Amino acid sequence: MSDSQRLFDLQELDNRLELLRTERAAVDRRAADDPEQKALSRRVQELRASLSQLASRLRQEELDVEELRERAASHERALYGGSVRHPAELERYQHEIRMLRERIAAAEERELAAMEEQEQLEADLRAAEARAGDRSAELARLRAEDARRRPGLDQELRAAEAERAGLAAQLGPAPLRLYAATAPRRRPAVVRIEAGVCSGCRLPVAHRVVEEARAGRLVTCENCERILIP
């Protein structure tokens, strides 16, 4: 087997290892605190706190409206009960009643707006609680699957790492250096020559390079610098 073919097999192993390590990292993340679940729980807590604050505000608005109405009713009883006779005092009572009614109207508008806000917050809370519940159920399912999958995943990782180490031991330092230098810049780093064309950059490969690759020599594409195999 040529060094270029061994490098191609090494690349296949590296791709497999990358997938296995990515899966293992996802398993580890799910085993720890789940960022999505934490964000949803935080959102639920924020909405509950907002609703609690709004409920307090609504109670205060109701008390304020009730107090204003009582004051307006007291002024109206005095005004229309015959106890107020002086014109200046009558005018003062009428003015105060008008001002109280305006304040009552404004307070009722604030109360209505707060009630509408409360309805929206309650709807948002129900939705957030549903999403949090769904994520918790999904996370429990994924963690159960992870518990079943992890022993086999660890075994696959160890086997693939051992296979890679064995394959790398069959290669000399120069091919490994070339692969290590190419892989970070070109993906894939090792590609086939297909009908005289580099399958990495899709440009023609010089005839002499094709012949060297067929002879088992380690060659690279003159265009993209990928390692070539026939």
CATH number at residue 72: 1.10.287
Q: Tell me, yes or no, whether 112 and 2 share the same domain.
A: no
Q: Which residue has the tokens 């209505």?
A: 112
Are 168 and 176 a contacting pair, CB within 8 Å? yes
Q: Based on the domain organization, do 154 and 45 belong to the same domain?
A: yes
Residue 84 confidence (pLDDT) = 64
Residues in the chain: 230
Query: Of 149, 169, 189, which one is at a domain's C-terminal end?
Result: 169
Q: At residue 82, does pLDDT exceed 80? A: no
Residues 126 and 15 in one domain: no
Contact 128, 43 (CB under 8 A): yes
What mean pLDDT is predicted for residues 129-135?
95
Helix segments in the chain, DSSP class H? 3-31, 35-80, 87-169, 173-182, 207-214
Domain boundary among 139, 169, 199: 169
Does residue 219 contact residue 209 with C-beta atoms inside 8 Å?
yes
Question: Distance between CA 160 and CA 105 in Å, rounded?
Answer: 76
Region of residue 227 (left: phi > 0; alpha: psi -120 to 50; beta: else):
beta
pLDDT band at 80 (very low <50, low <70, confident <90, very high): confident
Q: What pLDDT shows up at residue 130?
A: 97
Asked if residue 73 and residue 51 are part of one domain, the reply reads yes
Has this prediction a pTM greater than 0.95? no
Over residues 135-160, the pLDDT tens digits come to 999 999 999 999 999 999 999 999 99
Claim to verify: residue 182 and residue 158 sit in the same structural domain: no
Q: Predicted confidence band at 29 (pLDDT cuts at 50, 70, 90)? A: confident
| Count of structural domains, the chain | 2
**Same domain assignment for residues 54 and 144:** yes
Q: Which domain holds residue 145?
A: 33-169
Whether 185 and 211 share a structural domain:
yes
- Say whether pLDDT at 197 is over 80: yes
Mean per-residue pLDDT of the chain? 92
